[in-house]
């Protein structure tokens, strides 16, 4: 069984790493934050001293980091993955980053004999804990086939969508749809409450029809409880949307709705709610309408 290095064990990475340990894989983990590392080590992993130290002990290296600069630093920087990785090592970046950065890192990795896949995920912390994430992968078919079983431990669906960078293009499309679904839910439920109708009853009435969605079922119960504990933080969704806008502008694709919802989330961040779950987008509407969407 392949030895796996796992770099980045935060909200998402920690449960993903633990699921790999449960499945019997040997893990070496590293993170700048030592607290989650200790938690994963207690579950059966070894602690790596640095990214290069992790890479030197691994056949497959998984990175799960906040954004493009972090991945570049961990992979390409001093004492980074490429300083320690052997030729033939597979690098799976499961972070959500700019597609052009995925391609840039992949080219540098290939010079060292390291083959890269970009494999961002969707589903947030609950799906990470369950091991049922949606994983969208870009890279060579042959490499994908070698690690598909590893990815399947962490994901309910694992799909190769194209060449390197395609995984993150797919993730950007996903993030636009998720953000706009939450905004539509928030707008509709704010209207219902303002009109004096019970939002829980509205939710139950529409969830089985055409307006029903995975997003609605995941976020509406939390909104009704006023629970904005982060499964996926607003500030991270802003990061994804900024990557989407940048990519869209480079490709000359107008994305007016994506631009608008990004500004809604930015307003919430300015209001001190950037650390809330993205279901907290409803608070933008609540503030405007001077009501709360609760049970």
Q: Which CATH class is domain 169-289?
A: mainly alpha
The answer to whether 108 is a known catalytic residue is no
What fold, for 3-163? Rossmann fold (3.40.50)
Q: Residue 238, class by beta-carbon neighbours within 10 Å (0-12 exposed, 13-18 middle, 19+ buried)?
A: buried
CA distance 31 to 64: 10
Buried b / exposed e over 168-183, threshold 16 CB at 10 Å, is: bbbbbebbbebbbbbb
Task: Take residue 5 and report the two structure tokens written for it.
Answer: 């290095």
CA distance 181 to 171: 15
Cα 92–chain centre separation: 14
Give yes or no for residue 10 having a pLDDT over 90.
Answer: yes
Tell me the pLDDT tens digit for each residue of 58-115: 999 999 999 999 999 999 999 999 999 999 999 999 999 999 999 999 999 999 999 9
Please report which confidence band the pLDDT of residue 251 belongs to, taking 50, 70 and 90 as the band edges.
very high
User: One of 18, 127, 171, 219 is an active-site residue; which one?
Assistant: 171
User: Which part of the chain has CATH 3.40.50.720?
Assistant: 3-163
H/E segment holding residue 91:
strand 90-93
User: Which part of the chain has CATH 1.10.1040.10?
Assistant: 169-289
Please report which confidence band the pLDDT of residue 124 belongs to, taking 50, 70 and 90 as the band edges.
confident
């Amino acid at each position: 069984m392949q030895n796996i290095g796992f770099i980045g064990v935060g909200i998402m990475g920690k449960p993903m790493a633990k699921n790999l340990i449960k499945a019997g894989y040997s893990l070496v983990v590293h993170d700048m934050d030592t607290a989650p590392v200790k938690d994963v080590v207690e579950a059966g992993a070894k602690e790596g001293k640095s990214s290069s130290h992790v890479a030197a002990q691994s056949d497959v290296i998984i990175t799960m980091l906040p954004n493009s600069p972090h991945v570049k630093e961990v992979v390409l920087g001093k004492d980074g993955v490429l300083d320690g990785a052997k030729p033939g090592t597979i690098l799976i970046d499961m972070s959500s980053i700019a597609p052009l950065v995925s391609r840039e890192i992949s080219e540098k990795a290939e010079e060292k004999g390291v083959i890269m896949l970009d494999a961002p995920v969707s589903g947030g912390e609950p799906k990470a804990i369950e091991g049922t994430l949606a994983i969208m992968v870009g890279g060579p078919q042959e490499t994908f086939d070698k690690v598909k079983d590893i990815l399947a431990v962490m994901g309910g669906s694992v799909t190769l969508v194209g060449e390197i960078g395609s995984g993150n293009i797919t993730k950007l499309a996903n993030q636009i749809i998720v953000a706009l679904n939450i905004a539509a839910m928030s707008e509709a439920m704010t209207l219902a409450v303002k009109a004096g109708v019970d939002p829980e009853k509205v939710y139950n009435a529409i969830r089985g029809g055409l307006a029903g969605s995975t997003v609605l079922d995941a976020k509406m119960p939390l909104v009704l409880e006023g629970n904005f504990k982060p499964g996926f933080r607003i500030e991270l969704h802003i990061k994804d949307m900024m990557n989407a806008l940048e990519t869209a502008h480079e490709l000359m694709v107008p994305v007016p709705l994506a631009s608008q919802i990004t500004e809604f989330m930015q307003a919430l961040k300015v209001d001190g709610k950037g650390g809330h779950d993205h279901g907290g987008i409803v608070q933008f509407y609540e503030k405007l309408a001077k009501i709360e969407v609760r049970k």
